[in-house]
Every structure is written in structure tokens, then in C-alpha cells.
Amino acid sequence: MRIVVLKFGGTSVGTIKKIKKVADIIEEYKKKKFKIIVISSAMSGVTNELIKKSRQISNNFSGAEYDVLVSSGEQVACSLIAGRLIHKGFKARSWLAWQIPIFTEGSHKNSRINQIYKNRITNYLREDGIPIITGFQGINKNERVSTIGRGGSDASAIMFAKFFKAEKCIIYTDVEGIYTTDPNTLNKAKKIKVISYEEMLEMASLGAKVMQPVSIQDARLSRIDIEVKSSYVKRSGTIITKRSNIVNNKTITGISSTHNDAKVTLVGVKDKPGVAASIFKPLSKNLINVDMVVQNISANGKETDLTFTIKTEDLKKTKKIIESNKNIKFRKLLLKKDVAKISIIGVGMITTPGVTFRMFQTLANKRINIQVISTSEIKISVLIDKHNTKKALIALHKEFKLDN
């Protein structure tokens, strides 16, 4: 069987008109003689509304009941899609996770799919049926509904592509693909035709919202090629694939930026083994994600200044945790909001010297001060003042010839 997995995001199924459009897209693949597995998100806004209701009921709403509640949104969307396909004369039906079944492991709200039982879906495909499957959910070993976390429908689609050895896995959304940077911020942003798993993983982790990092990691591990494209226009999208499939003469593939960062600096920390762990352990226990970390040792070797970044909404909690931490000593605590992280990403920088210099010189030419630097094999990130974000994006986009 030639199987294609089509996943439709919340914006693609956000209205009745859009659901009718989705049914037309599915029909096009049917005409191409594909066996089609459809994965759907909830209609846009529905999941947020359900979460809001749970918070109105309780500040400590049961995790198990949370999963039952929020998974109901996908059920509505799948039923509507199936209903429209039936109206058009196709054999179609909605499938909930427990009807397949899809088994997950892990905690409520953040499970992972580890097994999909294929027989019922395979038989339905052979009968020329179109299964419309609720994304974002499964059942656990106790046969309770479990969810895979926000953006989990992408992960569901990728796992179905893996288990059913699909020829294609296509993620339909409200944008035409992955762009060199956020097109809402920079109108010169260009659609990327092909991008590696590693580059996409970095871009998603650094603020690109088209796909969740966990979904890309699943695709990378399973070697599933993904196409991200628009459900509104008939144009090719962006292929996410392994590095060896890419012929690219660009050093940098994309530039990402985040706008919700804060900088924390501990000045004059007594330098001794384990001090960094003493600082970060209570932050970790309180689910505060620490990003960029820089440590400067004093000339006498007895003190260090430690700087790191967090999300702005965690700043008050971080300040309280550090000031109440009896296991560390420091002379001053400095907190700074209104900073932004700019990152250039590209596998081409592995074999291209001078990329770091070009980035830093470009920012210097625009009189943009760099506060913190962080690097990996295919990424360089800098922290700058937030008001310089667009100026930095424009300059770097031009420097690395992403305007072309």
C-alpha cells in the first residue's frame, strides 16, 4: 500500500469552511491512489478554552482528568472531517486513541507514544476507508486517556508514518513552510526548500513555532521525512530530512529570535567545586528552564561571576529561590529584563571558517552590544537588548545572503 499521513493543525481546521477545504485536500490524495491516514488537531482555540475551564474548576486540577478534558477537542474536529468526507461520498470515520489502540508511556500531560496497534487501521485502509485519527493522545497501561503535550499531534503523525511505513508525512498548517526567519518580523524572510533535522531542531528550540522540538526529534530518530506546507494555498512547502539529502551552498540556513528572555547574574560567587550545581539544582526542581550560561573566573581564582538566561515570567521566582538559597554565597544579584536571543543556524558553519567573526562584526557595525554568547556545532546565539532585535535580524539576514 502507498500510504500518506496527513496532519492538519488547529488553524487548518479552525472553522467549518476550513474543514471543508481539508476534505478537498484529502480528496486530492485519494485521486492520486494513496491510502490516507489523517491526524487532526482540535479546532484552533478549543484546547486553550478547555484548559481555562480546568483552571476555573481547580488550581490543582487532576492530571488524569486534564487529559480526558483536553483530548475531547480532537474528537470534535475528527468527527467533522469524517462527516464532510462521508458527505462527499467517501468511506471515512473518526478513530479515538483507545479504539486503535495507541499506547503511551510517561506522565499525564506529557506522555510519549511507544506502540500503535496496526491491525484495525490496516484493515480499514484495505477496505478503502479513510481513518481520521485524533492526534495528541493515547492511552496508558491503566487504559486511561493520556496526552502527548502541546503540539503532540505532530508527534502522532510522525509515529503513524513510522509504524505504517508511510511514503509521505505532510504537516498542514497556516504557513507555507519554514522560513529563514520569522516573516511577521522581517518581510524579506524566504521560504526554505529543504532543511536538516538538526537545523530544524535548533530553530524550533530557539523560537520557531511551526513544529515542536519533540516532534522533530522523533522524526530524526525514525528517519521520517516531513513536508510542512500550507492548507490554504497549493504550493510546495519545506522538506525536513537528513543532512545527506541536502545540497545547499548557504553557510547559514536560518536565523531565529526569542523575545521573552531575562538575564540573571550572580556577582562574586565563592568559587568552589559544586557551586554551579548548588545554584541550578533548586531552579530545576522548580521547573525553571535555564538557557545560556557564562562563567567568568576572577584573577585571584577565588570568585566567579555566573550569568544565565531564563524566561521573563520566571524572573521573580528565580530571584526568590536564589536569595533564599543557603548553599551559595555571592556579593550581588543583577536581574535584567528586555533582552532577546538572536541565533544563526546552519550545518554549513561546520566547514566554513569565519562565521563567528562575521556575526560579531555585523552586530558591531550596527552598534549592537553582545551580552552573552552561546555556541554549538551548528548554532551561534547571542543575547542583546530587546529593542535591537529587528535591526540585528535585518543585518544578519543580509550578511549571510538569506535575502536572495
Q: Residues 205-216: pLDDT tens digits?
A: 766 667 777 888
Q: Give the C-alpha separation, 366 to 353, whole Å.
A: 22
Residue 102 CB-density burial (10 A; 0-12 exposed, 13-18 middle, 19+ buried): buried
Confidence of residue 18 (pLDDT cuts 50, 70, 90): very high
Q: What is the pLDDT of residue 209?
A: 66
Confidence of residue 299 (pLDDT cuts 50, 70, 90): low
Q: Give the C-alpha separation, 180 to 188, whole Å.
A: 9
The answer, yes or no, to whether residue 270 has pLDDT greater than 90, is no
Q: pLDDT tens digit string along 338-353?
A: 999 999 999 888 888 9
C-alpha cell, 210:
511551526
Q: pLDDT tens digit string along 65-95?
A: 999 999 999 999 999 999 999 999 999 999 9
CB 23 within 8 A of CB 38: no
Q: What is the pLDDT of residue 202?
A: 86
Contacts of residue 164, defined as CB under 8 A and 6 or more positions apart, other chains included, come to: 3, 5, 37, 118, 121, 122
Q: Give the C-alpha separation, 64 to 143, whole Å.
A: 11
Q: pLDDT tens digit string along 102-159?
A: 999 999 998 999 999 999 999 999 999 999 999 989 999 999 999 987 678 999 999 9
Q: Give the C-alpha separation, 93 to 86, whole Å.
A: 8
Neighbouring-strand partners of residue 105: 112
Q: Is the dihedral of CA 102, 103, 107, 108 positive or negative?
A: positive
The H or E element that residue 150 is part of is none
Residue 269 identity (one-letter amino acid)? V
Q: Give the C-alpha separation, 363 to 381, whole Å.
A: 12
Residue, of 175 and 336, whose pLDDT is higher: 336
Residue 389 identity (one-letter amino acid)? T
Q: Give the C-alpha separation, 110 to 212, whole Å.
A: 13
- Domains in the chain (CATH in brackets) are 3-174 (3.40.1160.10), 255-399 (3.30.2130.10)
In the chain, what percentage of residues exceed pLDDT 70?
97
